[in-house]
Each structure stands twice: as structure tokens, then as C-alpha cells.
Amino acid sequence: MTGRLYGVGVGPGDPELVTVKAARLIGAADVVAYHCARHGRSIARAAAEPYLGDGQIEEQLVYPVTTETTNHPGGYQGALDAFYAECAARLAAHLDAGRTVVVLSEGDPLFYGSYMHLHKRLAPHYPAEVVPGVTSVSAASAAAGRPLVERDETLTVLPGTLPGDELTVRLRATDAAAVLKLGRTFPKVRQAFEDAGRLGDAWYVERAATDRERVVPLADVDPADVPYMSLALLTSPAEQSFTAPPPARPDEPGSVTVVGLGPAGRPWLTPEAQDVLASATDLVGYGPYLDRVPPNPRQRRHSTGNRVESDRARHALALARDGARVAVVSSGDPGVFAMATAVLEVAEEFVDVPVRVVPGLTAAQAVAARAGAPLGHDFCVLSLSDLLKPWDVIARRLTAAAEADLVLALYNPSSSRRKHQLPAARELLLKHRDPETPVVVGRDVGGPEETVTVTTLGKLDPEQVDMRCLVIVGSSTTRVTDRGVVFTPRRYP
């Protein structure tokens, strides 16, 4: 017997708007599937999370493209067609095994939903049922507190991707309208409302039925600040008593969040860090790190030099005290030789400002993963920089770690002004380690100039190491396979 497929609408994002039937099917499913972009977040899964059961299989269906370009021979549509075919094959394997599969869908599954592409491919071959959900249009009307249509009025639902002149014609001819798929289409959509003479009657609703909901007149919206999860609403012309938007939400108090950007690139940035960066009013950080965050004209950016951590922290806290939501950016993890400590030290002067730390992927983890698993047993993380601590302290700690036979991850191994530390560290380690001890040197890992070199402690050339490198020195048990993979066994002899 084959399994059964359900396309389940979970509404616009509020778990309390999930229907009773949808909740029951989600909890009973063997497999729960949902679409998402590469960042991994899913509004549909978040809405369904309270109803998920134990031991369920989750199938994350990650879009190959969203708004970016693709080199697929069939172009954007070809890439999506291949993606939906591959997703359908993955779900068919579960159905063939007799499992019940629930595919979560934001809003309603058959209302501009991705589920329909799976339904068309799977429903002819397997038992399939669609469970409707609350649409974004209904949620937006409720958020605005305005009726969509009354009596014999007509409602037109339009995608913002239509040509501007066609949008204008349709907006002129209808009583009420909802225009979806905004984001990058917003300037064109706004112009269509203006050309149709309807801009003054239109409303903008963002992330309806979530804690980030926003309702404002369409004419007042900044085009640079429009996410995809928003729509333009032209409500019933019969409603005469609704002349003002709902009361504005009170401004949130200021705060500082120290954010780890990871070692390089958006793929290594956590979803939590992305959320913090997206919601911040002000970004503060060392210039090259701040440049890794895409610019947003809604946000103020405060770039500083590399050796003014305390001043940078004080500036961020002062901004937050005045009501700003500040994200202080830091490479790697902010709590590892980075900005978290600097902010918390100065925060004692700003007792009324809340400070939060959001972790990031460390350089040690990134380099280790590229090489294999050299940090598979006990290890020590040590900075060779003597700017904030004397060299004799570094030397004692190096000696102690070497005597304890710990793997070492060495940060700040060298710079244009500090050349003696790494050769000195190498000589100290050779007093306790075999010259054949494996060493990994990772440079710009995750970046465009990434190199990972596997050598030995005896052959390590300090001249080939700079500030963009991290050095991992193995223990007596660290091994290098014939394929060049480095690992430290979990068992110690």
C-alpha cells in the first residue's frame, strides 16, 4: 500500500490560525515537508511547529533560486521545474514506502502556493488531499480592520509581477483589490495605483498575523523597505467609517545585540544572526566586517577602525540608550577573541541598556571542517597576539597546552607588525611535540582566496602565514589519511 499525500495550508504565520484539521494531520504525519530559501527559515514550519509530533521525518525543500540569477540551461523557470521534479521524487519515495506525507504551505496550498507544483506531479499517482488555509489576503484585511468587499462589489487579486500598465487598467476597473508579490516589484505597483487614481485609498500590509505586522497607507511606504511577505490592499469603497490606520505600535526600547557573522559569506551566517541584522536600525563594526552586511538605506551604518573596540562599544550602547536597535557585527563568533567582551565591559556604564550575544561559526570550526576533524578530541584555543597580554603569558600557556598533549587552534598567528610570535611558538611546541605532528593552515576559509594547507610542525613555514590565517597544531594522536584528511581520534590511548 502507498502512503497518502496532504497539502496543508497553515495560514499566514500565526500558529493560532492553523485549522483544527491541519493541526491533526500535521501531528499524525510520518513525513513533514516544507519549502524554504537557502537561509533555512520557513514561515510555514514555524506556524506548524506547535503541532509537530515526535520522531517525524522532516524534508526541507530548499529553492535553488529565489531572486538571484541561475546558470541552468532552462533559465529561472527551468531551474524551478527541475527543482519541483526532484522534490516530487523525494516525496514519492516516502509515499512508495507507505508513509503519510504532509506538505506545509503558507496561506492556502492552492493560492499562489508552491505545493500546487508538487500536487500536479503526485496527485495522479497517489491518494492526495488539499486542506485549505487562511490566505494572506484575508489576514491583511483583518490586520487593517477594513472589509474587502460588500454586497455586489468585486474583488480582484493581482500578482505584482504583472506589467505596470496592465496593473493600472485592472485597478481602475475593480471595486477592491489585493496586489501580492511585492518586494522588488513595489515601485511599479505603487506607480500603478497612482496612475489608476487609487493611491490615496490603498493600504500596505506587511507580515500580517505575525509579531512583525505593519499596516500603513500605501503612499507612505519607503520602496527600499518592502519585504516579499507584504501586499497592497484596496478595500471596499462602501466603507466610509474607516478613515485612519490602526493605532501605531509603541516604539520598542533600544538594545544592543553583538552578532557573529561567521568566518565568511552569507551561507555561514545563522538564521538568528540574519534576523538580528534585518531588524536593526543601526549597524556598528570594524569596516571590513561591516562591508559583509548588504547595505539597507533604512539602516544607519557606523564604521570604525580595528583597534578602537571600547570606543566602538560605547558608541553602540549610546545609540541604544537613545532608542536604537543596534547590531554590533563581529567576524566568527563574537565571544571568541572578538567584540562581545568589549561590549559587555563597557556595558557596566549603561545599566539601562540590554545586551544580547548571538553566536557565529568560529574560524577554528571552519578550518577544522575543511581539513576533516582535527578538533575531534580535547583542544585548546589560543591567541598569539601580545597586544592585550604579555608574551610570557602566551609562552606559559603554549607550554602548558603542549605538555597536556592538547590540539591547539592558534588565532592571530602573525601580522605585518608581529612576526616573531609564530616562530617562537613553533620552537616551544617542538620541545614537546614530534616534528611530524600534523599542522593545518587555513587562510580566508569560506572566502574567494581560500587555501587549506596540511603540513607538519617541523615543516611549518611561518613566512607563509599571515593575519588572515588560523593554524591548527595536532596532538600526538592526530592522524592524516592517505587522502590528506586530518582527524584526531575520539579515544585517547
C-alpha closest to that of 297 among 219, 221, 224: 224
Q: Cell numbers of 369, please?
A: 571542517
The average pLDDT across 65-94 equals 84
Contact 31, 126 (CB under 8 A): no
The average pLDDT across 118-133 equals 96
Q: What is the pLDDT of residues 4-61, one digit of tens each?
A: 999 999 999 999 999 999 999 999 999 999 999 888 889 999 999 999 999 999 999 9
Contact 268, 367 (CB under 8 A): no
Residue 252 pLDDT grade (very low, low, confident, very high; cuts 50, 70, 90)? low
Q: Cell numbers of 48, please?
A: 506548524
C-alpha closest to that of 192 among 174, 205, 206: 174
Contact residues for 84 (Cβ-Cβ < 8 A; gap 6+): 114, 117, 118, 121
The average pLDDT across 471-491 equals 94
Residue 426 pLDDT grade (very low, low, confident, very high; cuts 50, 70, 90)? very high
Query: Which has more pLDDT, 76 or 480?
Result: 480
pLDDT at residue number 250: 46
> Which domains are present in the chain?
5-133 (3.40.1010.10), 137-234 (3.30.950.10), 255-361 (3.40.1010.10), 364-487 (3.30.950.10)
Phi first, then psi, for residue 14 (nearest 5°) are -80, 120
The average pLDDT across 74-103 equals 91
Q: Give counts: helices (H), strands (E), the chain.
A: 14, 23
Mean pLDDT of the chain, nearest integer: 90
Nearest-angstrom CA–CA distance, 221 and 41: 26
How much of the chain, in percent, has pLDDT values that exceed 90?
72
pLDDT at residue number 68: 62
Residue 297 pLDDT grade (very low, low, confident, very high; cuts 50, 70, 90)? confident
Nearest-angstrom CA–CA distance, 50 and 436: 53
Q: What is the pLDDT of residues 332-356, one digit of tens each?
A: 999 998 899 999 999 999 999 999 9
Contact 361, 262 (CB under 8 A): yes
pLDDT at residue number 493: 87
Query: Of 69-78, 241-250, 482-491, which has the strongest mean pLDDT?
Result: 482-491
Least confident interval from 92-101, 261-270, 281-290, 468-477: 261-270
The length of the chain, given as a count of residues: 493
Name the residue with cell 561590549: 343
Q: Is the pLDDT of residue 240 over 50?
A: no
* H helical segments located in 39-99: 43-48, 75-96
Q: Is the pLDDT of residue 79 over 90?
A: no
The average pLDDT across 98-123 equals 95
pLDDT at residue number 358: 95
Beta bridge partners of 64: none
Q: Cell numbers of 232, please?
A: 497592497
- Name the CA dihedral angle for 20, 26, 27, 32, rounded to a multiple of 10 degrees: -170
**Cα 149 to chain center, whole Å?**
38
Nearest-angstrom CA–CA distance, 215 and 232: 10
Q: Is the pLDDT of residue 248 over 50?
A: no
Q: How far is CA 343 from CA 57, 89, 293, 381, in A?
A: 41, 50, 20, 21
pLDDT at residue number 190: 95
Amino acid at 112: Y
Nearest-angstrom CA–CA distance, 385 and 225: 42
Least confident interval from 63-67, 102-106, 268-272: 63-67
Q: Is the pLDDT of residue 463 over 50?
A: yes
pLDDT at residue number 239: 62
pLDDT at residue number 455: 95
